Amino acid sequence: MELQLEKIFIKEVKFGQENRIADGVLTINREGLLEKVRDDHRIACLDLEIVRPGDDVRIMPVKDVIEPRCKISGGEMFPGFTGDDDTVGSGITRVLSGAAVVTTGKVVGFQEGIIDMQGPGADYTPFSRTINIVITCEVKEGVKQHVHEEVLRLLGLTAANYIGEAAREAEQEVEEVRKYEHKPLLEACSLNGGLPIVGYVYMLQSQGLLHDTYVYGVDAKEILPTLISPTEVMDGAIVSGNCVSACDKNTTYFHQNNPIIEELYEKHGRDLNFVGVIITNENVTLADKERSSSFTARLAEKIGLEAAIVSEEGFGNPDADLIMNCRKLEERGVRTVLVTDEFAGRDGASQSLADSAPEADAVISSGNANEVIELPALGRVIGHDRYADSIAGGFSGSLKDDGSIEVELQAIIGATNELGFNRLTAREF
């Protein structure tokens, strides 16, 4: 299985009469896009804006962020949603690098966050550095929360798919081509040449209503841990549908650009033999946690893993899943490295995770989400800043009279992302 990613670097986005890409400029037919996404009887109103790095703009509450792409061959984008149910992970995919679709509107689950395009908040979110096509969607009165989430999820994926199609007939050359190969498992494991056989255990948030992640359109809470090609992950097989805290929510963009997978590919054949990805869910009940972690460890043992990277999504309850995965992998001789963030209190002195084990002796921290930051008032808010007091990371009095906001990093999209798609870590003194 081989996936070829062809990148076109987008330097500017504007509205025009047609969708096209030329000289690094993405032109979007505004009315055409709105017409494409408004065909849903549950939508009350829509708005569409373009926001650029450095703009005096705050976007909140953010539901999802998606990178526009186009499948040239090997399936369709976002299978199970905008594409058919066939698999992805092979063929050619064209990427509009530097552009992102952002969805916002009234809050769905009080765990949606903030993107500041300038000021101190911009330093903590990667989406202050993308050109964002922001869709503000308000649903009709009486629409229940889980339906509200579905409307925004489908709208964002549809918009990203529509915009991405401009890459099919782009009027400029592809600027970067990367090829990623994933060999059949038996062949991959036999080609290690003495290098350690390494896998990636990818924990997906799936802890009930409004805490969902989708794999080929299937809610991850309905799956048992399973093997998946890393190229499938890179190619839109996994889609965000959850409302976990903004700081460590894996947006669809993060799944499309998972830096752990990228780094494992960089080291493959040189420092290690990267043989595959085990996706596993995060569960509510103890019995479900035990079942999923046991299946994960058994899969790792069956394919002969000698080491594994395990990444978490969320915090608190999922910490138990993280530690169970770690302990059971280590018991089977699989050396384990954990990637997580910390909720160690505003002074950093509290216990970082809700669970721990002696086996968890190799941990990468992506930062303390309880750290407080002051966000100055910006010239314009897209969405609604009135939720500042109630979103995760906010508190009574977070929103000041002058429009400034005092919140924990927890409220900023991607601030402590547990895939490492940020610039924070911990330092030992």
Catalytic residues: 243
Nearest-angstrom CA–CA distance, 60 and 116: 9
CA nearest to 164, candidates 216, 94, 90: 94
405-408 long-range contacts, Cβ below 8 Å, gap at least 24? 405/114, 405/374, 405/375, 406/372, 406/373, 406/374, 406/375, 407/114, 407/372, 407/373, 407/375, 408/346, 408/369, 408/370, 408/371, 408/372, 408/373
Strand partners, 201: 278, 310
- Report which secondary-structure segment, H or E, holds 57: strand 57-66
Q: Are 384 and 61 in contact (CB under 8 A)?
A: yes
Strand partners, 273: 197
Lookup result for tokens 């805490």: 211
CA nearest to 311, candidates 189, 181, 205: 205
Buried b (16+ CB within 10 A) or exposed e, 147-185: ebbbbbbbbbbbbbbbbbbbbeebeeebeeeeebebeee
Nearest-angstrom CA–CA distance, 240 and 102: 13
Largest CA distance in the chain: 64
Q: Are 329 and 377 in contact (CB under 8 A)?
A: no
Strands 57-66 vs 99-104: parallel, antiparallel or unpaired? antiparallel
Q: Are 205 and 59 in contact (CB under 8 A)?
A: no
Q: Please, what sign has the CA dihedral across residues 392, 395, 400, 406?
A: negative
Nearest-angstrom CA–CA distance, 371 and 345: 7
DSSP state letter for 208: S
